[in-house]
Structure 1
Amino acid sequence: MSVKKLLSQAAALALLSGSVHAHQQMLYTPELLRDSGGTITLKMPFTHPASSGHVMTADAPEAFFSVRKGKKTDLQELLKPIEWTSETGTGPAYEAAVRLRGLGDNVFVYRMAPYYEESEDLYIQQITKTIVNVGSLPTDWDADLGLDAEIVPLTKPYAIYAGGNFTGVVRSQGEPVPFAEIEVEYVNYLPDVETNRFAVEPTIMPPAEAFVTMTIYADANGTFTFALPQAGQWGFAALGVGPKTEHNGKELSQDAMIWVQAHPIVQNPAAKAKP
């Protein structure tokens, strides 16, 4: 069976089995660690990046802002609607062109509107963070923003070697969430930011569908650690950790989402082993 068919079947089985939270709100730009500033474009489909799955239709986000050196900037006016294409079809999404000024961390937060998942008769709302650094100068990457649902990094999310660990704390309004359930996905189909679509072929070959969406749990202090075996971007979604549990008279899962990037180890060909 081909990898593509395996992943497509895995996505379908996940949906039928009720694992609707495998969908993840992306807040994507190709490089989270940059040498210099300038304008970057963030892409924001609500989808399933590990399997190039269905693109969900969500209303305009409730909030979109950045935090840099402690200062919050509203970015709602920069949002533009786009269409995003996956293996299963095309759906609505958003993008924003943002100018990065100076060195340091830029923490982007996207609070999607509650999305109604008909198969489960509930709403999903993910509050997503992506941190883009300029010049390797750390400033805000470990800040607790006091969000309703939030993963606060204990590891720089843009400075991790492939094979290294990412550690974070799941929090709600500044308080740790013990034993939070966290879904982990690898962006296995690289986003093409020029054509607004996922790549046709996956980057890696998962050995089984259990590796498409992996589940871990935080400890009693809300802390978790996950090893990133492959270079690229990884998404962590802590499910139902926010204080709001109802929307339009139905159950609401308010999730914390963060994206991190692992980098390959590049060997120096000029280096010679000592005798």
Structure 2
Amino acid sequence: MTVLLQVDNLVKKFGGVTAVNGVGFPVLKGEIFSLIGPNGAGKTTMFNLISRVLPVTSGTITLDGNDITRTAPHRIAPLGMGRTFQNLAVFKHASVVDNLLVGRHSHMKTSVLGGLLFGPTTRAAERAHRKRVEEIIDFLEIQHVRDVPVGALAYGLQKRVELGRALATEPKLLLLDEMVSGMNAEETEDIARFILDLKEELEITVMMIEHDMGIVTDISDHIAVMNFGERIAYGTPDEIRADPHVIEAYLGHKLQEDTEAVH
């Protein structure tokens, strides 16, 4: 399969602290890829490096054949990368539709004068952006709250809106940072279904950080495991489950509890 994202020997230092130390892995086009590890392992720092929120100390990041290691953050969305954040980053006083329209910003080519005059070209572009937003609303099954201020929605629906805004950027690669954190079982199942649909229906490659090992092992094609800023394992879910380094660093406690529960 084609490699969409390639991370090679990535290093990030904060003063004398090395938060990411020589990490590398491929993300294949059309797959669901998970990055896991204990708290403080460096996962979110990796996302911040890949999405260019943080500058890289050394190493390279390649997206769809283009070196983006030094690319400015505001140029990442037009190159085909979208992202959600660990903490909700929605506009709570704006409606669902308006939040999703913000995600269309990188595709808006209207000039200031064109916007003021609101001529035929501008009106056509506006209709196209709104049509795309309505398609995303239908995909995420949030038609019933499309005009509601996002701050008035339940947490799980706010997460869907944030996902929708990232989808509005039309990403090739979508980074999801702990999408199901704080959700109940039903909300988690809904998000898992949407992530699978992103891959299968929209053909979007998904890279996610997640602590819920159920969703990780159920829907991931490949998993990379980090601990203390280093990559300690990479493979399929079955390979990761059986890796002794992973069991010791991350899964051992949970696997032991699950085994005791069975017996």
TM over 0.5: no
TM-score, normalised relative to structure 2 = 0.30
| Greater strand share, structure number | 1
TM-score (norm 1): 0.30
The structure that is helix-richer by fraction is 2
